[in-house]
């Protein structure tokens, strides 16, 4: 039978990351291709104890239907926490819990964009966001990245050329895939440009609490006096991605629309995971937990960076992240990057993600690839970088 799928499905392709992860499922493959938290980062004992206590003392609350806006005690704690840490939350703001940060990307796009509406994005950018935008039939316009964030001249040019653009998507801290952090100067400039051209900013901050060097940079939302910044947070990288607990803080009018859309999507985020997150935040030393995560990722990142410096062809450039889970390597111009990545995984058992997975259009050229240091062991990092280094010298 010929299935009559909607035409929007033609723009959706299997994630390159997922395709490469098929090779990564082979235990002999060193997977620099994932984006998972380090196995040693999970507070397993605490979550086991919390879950048992909830099911013993509050089983019906955990298993019954609940509010679309989320588990009220957790919402209150998150509001206070992001206010304390990041200065987020004005009189006009509201917050709703979501099924991970990914759900916000989908619901915000549905709220703002119809078929063909423009979303401006960093280029490269997070493939999960790009697919969420494409699934809602938005038109993507990429703005090239520099060492400290988007090229502001090209950003304003894109805004002028797309006066009806609805959203600007940005990951300002340790961007996925590049590891780049947007400078404070550029954050302020981006905010002013968005205000000037009447575009809402989707500020995605899944890695912000994983800074392991340099000083913290204020979030764009922290200086939002006009209600144009939609701030997305998540517990996936700091607690557990399997819990699927995220949140969005934005002007109450925006949150009201997202709430209505969520009611048609999943009714509410799982209450048991929200209760687990609440108990962890209120009964355990969350700051100490974050410090432990930062120590883990600082060590792993430095191990990979030291290996790249020692083993890679000097003609290969790489970013130096100050937090998060990723770094970005760029092969010399004219190199067949896809062939390099395919050779690495098929013939040498090292998986990286080709850079074209993160571009806003299929015809945008790149010789870059993404490497993840959080998932592999120390031994795998050392060995994998040695193998890749040898391949770079054979280019």
Q: Residue 13 has what pLDDT?
A: 60
Q: What is the pLDDT of residues 294-315, one digit of tens each?
A: 999 999 999 999 999 999 999 9
Q: Residue 21 has what pLDDT?
A: 60
Query: Buried (b) or exposed (e) across 136-167, using 16+ Cβ within 10 A?
Result: bbbbbbbbebeeebbbbeebbebbeebeebbb
**304 and 269 in a common domain:** no
Q: What is the CATH number of the domain that holds 301?
A: 3.90.1150.10
Distances (CA, A) of 150 to 206, 349, 355, 373: 18, 34, 17, 24
Work out the angle between the directed axes of helices 72-86 and 271-283 (0-180°, nearest 10).
50
Q: In what order do the strands lie in the sheet with 167-170?
A: 93-98, 246-251, 229-234, 200-204, 167-170, 118-123, 139-146, 149-150
- Residue 65 lies in domain: 60-283
**219 and 128 in a common domain:** yes
Would you say 321 and 374 are in contact if contact means Cβ atoms under 8 Å apart? no
User: The tokens of 242 are what?
Assistant: 């399997």
Q: Is residue 52 part of a domain?
A: no
Nearest to 246 by CA among 82, 41, 55: 82
**324 and 246 in a common domain:** no
Q: Residue 1 has what pLDDT?
A: 65
**262 and 317 in a common domain:** no
Residues 6+ apart with CB under 8 A from 39: 375
Phi, psi of 359 (to 5 degrees): -90, 150
Q: Is residue 51 part of a domain?
A: no
Q: What is the CATH number of the domain that holds 111?
A: 3.40.640.10
Q: Is residue 64 part of a domain?
A: yes
Q: What is the pLDDT of residues 104-128, one digit of tens each?
A: 999 999 999 999 999 999 999 999 9
Q: Residue 205 has what pLDDT?
A: 98
**11 and 155 in a common domain:** no
Query: Which of 236, 264, 283 is the endpoint of a domain?
Result: 283
Q: Is residue 50 part of a domain?
A: no
**39 and 186 in a common domain:** no
Q: Is residue 200 part of a domain?
A: yes
Domain count, the chain: 2
**120 and 25 in a common domain:** no
Instruction: Establish whether the linkage from the previous residue to 124 is cis, with ω within 30° of 0.
Output: yes
Q: Is residue 2 part of a domain?
A: no
**361 and 221 in a common domain:** no
Would you say 47 and 273 are in contact if contact means Cβ atoms under 8 Å apart? no
The Cα 48–Cα 348 span in angstroms is: 39
**75 and 91 in a common domain:** yes
Q: Is residue 344 part of a domain?
A: yes
Q: What is the pLDDT of residues 24-50, one digit of tens each?
A: 667 899 999 988 999 999 999 999 999
**333 and 230 in a common domain:** no
How would you write the pLDDT of the chain (395 residues) with one tens digit per residue? 677 777 776 666 665 556 666 776 678 999 999 889 999 999 999 999 999 999 999 999 999 999 999 999 999 999 999 999 999 999 999 999 999 999 999 999 999 999 999 999 999 999 999 999 999 999 999 999 999 999 999 999 999 999 999 999 999 999 999 999 999 999 999 999 999 999 999 999 999 999 999 899 999 999 999 999 999 999 999 999 999 999 999 999 999 999 999 999 999 999 999 999 999 999 999 999 999 999 999 999 999 999 999 999 999 999 999 999 999 999 999 999 999 999 999 999 999 999 999 999 888 899 999 999 999 999 999 999 999 999 999 98
**312 and 182 in a common domain:** no
**216 and 68 in a common domain:** yes
């Amino acid at each position: 039978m010929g299935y009559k799928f909607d035409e929007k499905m033609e723009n959706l392709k299997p994630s390159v990351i997922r395709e490469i992860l098929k090779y990564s499922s082979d235990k002999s493959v060193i997977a620099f291709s994932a984006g998972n938290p380090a196995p040693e980062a999970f507070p397993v004992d605490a979550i086991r104890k919390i879950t048992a206590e909830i099911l013993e003392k509050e089983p019906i609350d955990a298993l019954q239907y609940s509010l679309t806006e989320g588990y009220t005690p957790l919402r209150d704690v998150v509001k206070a926490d992001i206010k304390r840490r990041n200065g987020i939350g004005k009189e006009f703001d509201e917050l709703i819990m979501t099924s991970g940060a990914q759900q916000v990307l989908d619901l915000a796009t549905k709220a703002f964009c119809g078929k063909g509406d423009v979303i401006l994005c960093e280029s490269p950018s997070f493939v999960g966001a790009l697919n969420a935008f494409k699934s809602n039939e938005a038109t993507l316009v990429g703005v090239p990245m520099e060492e400290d964030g988007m090229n502001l001249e090209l950003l304003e040019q894109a805004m002028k050329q797309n006066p009806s653009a609805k959203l600007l998507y940005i990951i300002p801290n340790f961007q996925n895939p590049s590891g780049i952090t947007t400078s404070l100067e550029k954050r302020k400039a981006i905010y002013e440009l968005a205000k000037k051209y009447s575009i809402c900013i989707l500020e995605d901050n899944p890695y912000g609490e994983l800074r392991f060097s340099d000083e913290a940079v204020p979030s764009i939302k922290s200086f939002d006096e006009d209600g144009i910044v939609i701030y997305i947070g998540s517990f996936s990288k700091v607690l557990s991605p399997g819990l699927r607990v995220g949140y969005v803080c934005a002007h109450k009018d925006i949150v009201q629309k997202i709430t209505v859309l969520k009611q048609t999507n999943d009714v509410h985020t799982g209450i048991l995971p929200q209760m687990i997150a609440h108990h962890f935040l209120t009964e355990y030393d969350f700051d100490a937990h974050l410090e432990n995560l930062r120590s883990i990722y600082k060590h792993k990142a430095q191990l990979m960076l030291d290996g790249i410096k020692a083993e890679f062809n000097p003609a290969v450039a790489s970013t130096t992240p100050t937090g998060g889970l990723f770094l970005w390597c760029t092969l010399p111009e004219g190199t067949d990057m896809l062939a390099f990545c395919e050779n690495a995984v098929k013939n040498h058992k090292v998986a990286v993600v080709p850079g074209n997975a993160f571009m806003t259009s299929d015809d945008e050229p790149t010789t870059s690839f993404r490497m993840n240091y959080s998932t592999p062991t120390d031994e795998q990092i050392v060995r994998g970088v040695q193998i890749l280094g040898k391949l770079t010298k054979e280019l």
